[in-house]
Amino acid sequence: MSEPNIIRAAVRNFTALFKADAFEGVLLIAVAIVALVIANSGVAPAYFELFNGYLWSKDAFYLNTIHLWVNDGLMVIFFFVVGLEVKRELYRGNLADPKARTLPILAAAAGMAAPAAVYMFIAGSEPALARGWAIPAATDIAFAMGVVGLLGTRVPAPLRLFLLTVAIVDDIGAVAIIAVFYTEEIKMMFLAASGVVLGLMFVLNKMRVTSMAPYILLTVVLWYCVLYSGIHATIAGVLAALTIPMYGKNGSCMLEDMEHALVPWNAYIVVPIFGFANAGVNISGLGLDALLDPLPLAIAAGLVLGKQVGIFATVWTIVKLKIVPKPPGCTWAEIWGVTVLCGIGFTMSLFIGELAFEGTDEAARLLRDEAKIGVLVGSLISAVLGYTILRMTAPHADEKDDPASPVV
């Protein structure tokens, strides 16, 4: 390749990083690396004090550290966007058509069950670790789609859609898991208040109230009630999103407009802040043998092996049984590569890890750190392996002239 062509290719690759689907993933990778570097540098004490230092007594208000505000407060926006996305997909998206959603829904279900089974096989015999079974169950949409964006036309459009739908179904499953399995003591008064507020929001929907102000106000009230009910506060974000009307008075898609308005804030502020606050783990005192400890090994194996085996085996079986056809224009190698990318579990896996091993004692902190190591290693291996598999496939002829596609 001549020097001008090399320069043009480099410019196209650099530009491609800033496409929405690619840049979100690159940003998350960068944030995770920065957090790890800081957590293992001379300023590590300041980093941990920033997020874990007490702001006030828990008796004054439950969220008394910046870390809690990020995980139980800021992440409500993330889950609100997830709820909007789920509702849109159910009404007018990939999950609206029963035939179109069969393959990704079954694949996603297997892709959550298999990693959990791998985790329990490795670490389930230790009661203290059993609570982490759901950590490797979810796929990170932004991270996975970011890798796909870097691959350009080596990932055919039907597989991009398949990956996106699997990740959305994963999110639905993860939300259900958090609500059911990571809820401790229920306070009935606040739970009842949450039900009243949620009911009022549905009444506003039925009355075709399209002003966003009352929904925003009631979402904050709902968050407060859920926070003190014992159910994890982020569930309020999903529930509130389901009450947002699909259409406004002028016929525009109100829900989609709101989703589009929040997605940049979610992708470029909320999730990176969460990643920065949660990916930092001090590994300076740990040897490579720490990766073989039951907890990080179980999580990494669940993400790398459980995800791809569960999803690929399900897709292969369903196609061979002729229940649904194979995604059009896709080879089995490409399908395999995408199923490997489903093992990228950054955001939701870190989040569930924080819930699974809550506590302020040293033992709980150590478990959370080991869980983070497992998530980071498993996600990194899945990203590199999936990228390598798909990088070896040929660009698709009908898309290879797309000027927006990176040359990789």
8 A C-beta contact, residue 356 and residue 381: no
Determine the distance from the C-alpha atom of residue 88 to the mean position of all C-alpha atoms in its chain, rounded to a whole number. 18
8 A C-beta contact, residue 254 and residue 210: yes
Distance CA 110, CA 315 (A): 10
Closest CA to 112 of 383, 375, 310, 357: 310
- DSSP character string of 119-144: HHHHHTTSHHHHGGGGGGG---HHHH
Closest CA to 161 of 101, 218, 82, 219: 101
Q: What is the pLDDT of residue 93?
A: 75
Distance CA 223, CA 221 (A): 5
Examine residue 333 and state whether it is found in any structural domain, yes or no: yes
- The CA R_g of the chain, rounded to the nearest whole Å, is 22
Structural domain span for residue 302: 18-71+98-168+281-391
Q: What is the pLDDT of residue 5?
A: 57
Neighbour tally for 349: CB within 10 Å: 31
8 A C-beta contact, residue 88 and residue 147: no
What's the number of CA atoms in the CB half-sphere (13 Å) around residue 322? 0
Residue 394 per-residue DSSP state: P
H/E element, 292: none
Mind listing the pLDDT tens digit for each residue in 257-277?
898 889 889 888 998 998 899
Distance CA 132, CA 179 (A): 15
Of residues 141 and 51, more confidence is placed in 51
Q: Is the pTM of this model over 0.75?
A: yes
Burial of 6 (0-12, 13-18, 19+ CB in 10 A): exposed
Distance CA 120, CA 130 (A): 7
Distance CA 169, CA 375 (A): 20
In single-letter form, the type of residue at position 3 comes to E
Examine residue 181 and state whether it is found in any structural domain, yes or no: no
Mind listing the pLDDT tens digit for each residue in 72-103?
999 899 889 988 988 888 888 767 777 778 88
Examine residue 86 and state whether it is found in any structural domain, yes or no: no
8 A C-beta contact, residue 273 and residue 74: yes
Examine residue 234 and state whether it is found in any structural domain, yes or no: no
Look over the chain and give the mean of its residue pLDDT values, rounded to a whole number: 85
CATH number at 151 reads 1.20.1530.10
As a whole number, mean pLDDT of residues 52-78 equals 89
Examine residue 88 and state whether it is found in any structural domain, yes or no: no
Give helix 20-39 / helix 271-279 axis angle, nearest 10°.
Answer: 30
As a whole number, mean pLDDT of residues 36-64 equals 90
As a whole number, mean pLDDT of residues 10-25 equals 54
Examine residue 28 and state whether it is found in any structural domain, yes or no: yes
Q: Helices (H) and strands (E) in the chain — how many of each?
A: 19, 0
Examine residue 111 and state whether it is found in any structural domain, yes or no: yes
Number of domains in the chain: 1
Neighbour tally for 256: CB within 10 Å: 18
Examine residue 27 and state whether it is found in any structural domain, yes or no: yes
